[in-house]
Amino acid sequence: MADTEAEPPPPAPRPQGPLARAERFVWLTARVLEQHLFAHHFRDGGAGPVEAALDAYRNEDGGYGHALEPDLRGPVSQPLHTARALRVLDAVGRCGGRRAEDVCRYLTSVSTADGALPAVHPRQRGYPVAPFVPVVDDPPGELLATGPVVGLLHRNEVWHAWLFRATDFCWRAVESLEESHPYEVQAALAFLDHAPDRPRAQAAAGRLGRLVRARRLAALDPDDLDAYPVAPGYAPGEHHFPHDYARTPHSLARAWFTDEEMGRSLEYLAAEQREDGGWPLRWRQWAPGPVLEARPMVTIDALRTLTAYGRGVG
């Protein structure tokens, strides 16, 4: 008797193109928040589902916790979590109103004496945290934590008493930088790109760009990375490139780099997409959970940067 058992169907073809491959990666690995963010940016998804997913990380004090920033675990509100929440709200046009007032209330409660934000509030003690994020009892205010928050609130025309002293802190910190490292430079840019005093911001950005080039804080030639030192405390190979500073052509950092330098940087970014469809993490990896949660975030950021510069991803 002939074998009538049907042959198994052929395997489904793997998605083609950077965006399709990234979408598969997001559906395989991302949190609900990043799934909705991907849909919002690339599949005409609405802002409402993103905002609803973000609410899961929100605390009664107006801040955000619950490992929204994957390298800080635990439920307590932290400035770094709240900064990421503001980036999400800004991305979907919901960074204002009562939600912004609640955030500013939280920021006021954790500010240092000079009106700035600590990178990590001591309430983090007792919960898992990346080994490169120290938890101390009386942390100082830092540009790293304050700059992105102040910049986003100015970008969205949020006015609150907390902003006045925090803005003054950012100006003092940015204009006094003599030495720095890539993440601090990014925080300074997050402030300068949206600071209300545009002539002052442009002058400060010009000085910062000269520092970046003089200290070789941007890897201008991806084929010769040994020529660019990695900042102390960073992971081996944790370089930063022009696209890490000028994430859009409208950033003040775009003037720091020639068209050729920017083009090489974007080509390197596009080529970094891995076989699984996601982009890699360049910073130090210390536990499986944070890596899994952070890669979809990095992947969405890479796609948005390439799209901002008109590089096809579809």
Domains of the chain by range and CATH? Answer: 18-308 (1.50.10)
Cα within 13 Å of Cα(215), Cβ side = 19
pLDDT of residue 10 exceeding 80: no
Question: What's the mean pLDDT in 77-106?
Answer: 96
DSSP calls for 72-92? B-SSS--HHHHHHHHHHHHHT
Question: What pLDDT digit, counting tens, does each position of 66-89 carry?
Answer: 999 999 999 999 999 999 999 999
Question: What pLDDT digit, counting tens, does each position of 14-30 carry?
Answer: 668 999 999 999 999 99
Q: Are 64 and 58 in contact (CB under 8 A)?
A: yes
Residue with tokens 């402030």: 191
Q: Are 63 and 81 in contact (CB under 8 A)?
A: yes
